[in-house]
Amino acid sequence: MSDLYAVIGNPVAHSKSPLIHARFARQTGQDIHYEAILAPLDGFVETVVAFRQRGGKGANVTVPFKLEACALSSRLTERAKAAGAVNTLVFEADDILGDNTDGAGLVRDIVVNLGYALGGQRVLLMGAGGAARGVIRPVLEHEPAVLTIANRTRQKADDLQQLFASSGNVVSTAYGDLRGQEFDLVINATSASLHGDLPPQPKGIFAAASLAYDMMYGKGHTPFLQFAQQQGAARLADGIGMLVEQAAESFFLWRGTRPETEPVIEMLRSSLGSP
């Protein structure tokens, strides 16, 4: 019988994870079955317990359960502790190990797939919610010159700055104060693109040869990537690479083998009609 894995979320029907993990399994010859499970909003823990009873060996966790998954874990990896959220569960005999592969996925997409070294670069992170928090430590591990966090609600950016101040050169700011500053990498970790909105960043923030990265994706460029293109950002990237890389990192954790991500990124890009 195949080893059983799942993604648990609400909603979850749109999730690309079953498709991605099926491709990984075929490519690496691993015998797994991976399904999507819709958990009731007030029934995450019960859903996990039932899945484990059915023989589940591990799970990905998506919106809105990443904090509950963190609380449910009996052990956490360092990066899950730093992220304060869990997107990958490993069911062990006596423990539930909680990990977070989102930040590692983002950084791997930027550094390996896009070939963009982060060391010494000026990085702007827009947003201070769960998505932003998860990527701070993995980015700082690459020792950028500065990591500036901008958020609409300034206090949340300040809180993250304090939380990570001992891990690198982290600055928090309001969007308006970005005027006159330039960055080599601008990451949109806000949920603005989900609503077709643009974060209120000023013009002129993209340095020559800069990379604009939107953690969201869709058909065509997101509003942020359109803005970045108009503003002369040298390179544009959406979140498809991150999506596949975070999945590969989970797969590696579960199966001990690292799948090739490039063909899966290409397959998703063409099926989504993304640029």
The residues of the shown chain that bind ligand ATR, judged by CB under 6 A, are 127-132, 151-153, 156, 190-192, 197, 199
Which of 142/156 has CB closer to ligand ATR? 156
Q: Is 9 annotated as a binding residue?
A: no
**Dihedral pair phi/psi, residue 222, rounded to 5°:** -70, 165
| Closest to ligand ATR by CB, 153 or 162 | 153
Provide the sign of the torsion angle of the four alpha carbons 108, 110, 114, 115, taken in this order: negative
78 is in an annotated binding site: yes
**Is 215 marked as binding a ligand?**
yes
The pair of structure tokens assigned to 136 is 């701070």
Please tell me whether 217 is known to bind a ligand: yes
Of the pair 97, 132, the CB lying nearest ligand ATR is at 132
Residue 184 Cβ vs ligand ATR, minimum distance, rounded to whole Å: 21
Interhelix angle 17-28/262-272, rounded to 10 degrees, is 140
* Number of CB atoms found within 10 A of residue 43's CB: 13
CA distance 129 to 68: 16
Report CA-CA distances (Å) from 230 to 45, 132, 227: 46, 24, 5
β-strands 32-38, 75-76: how paired?
A: unpaired
**115 is written with which tokens?**
């070939």
**Which ranges of the chain would DSSP assign to H, the alpha helix?**
17-28, 44-53, 66-72, 78-83, 102-108, 130-140, 154-164, 223-230, 240-255, 262-272
How far apart are CB 232 and ligand ATR at their closest, in Å?
22
Q: Is residue 56 marked as binding?
A: no
Closest CA to 251 of 12, 28, 16, 41: 28
Using an 8 Å Cβ cutoff, are 70 and 98 in contact? Answer: yes
100 is known to lie in a ligand binding site: no
Nearer to ligand ATR, 200 or 267 (CB): 200
List the catalytic residues.
66
In the complex, minimum distance from the CB of residue 156 to ligand ATR, in angstroms, rounded to a whole number = 5
Query: Of all residues in this chain, which one has the CB nearest to ligand ATR in the complex?
Result: 129
Give the residue with the Cβ less far from ligand ATR, 198 or 236. 198
Residues annotated in a binding site for shikimate: 15-17, 62, 87, 102, 217, 246
Residues annotated in a binding site: 15-17, 62, 78, 87, 102, 127-131, 151-156, 215, 217, 239, 246
Residues annotated in a binding site for NADP(+): 78, 127-131, 151-156, 215, 239
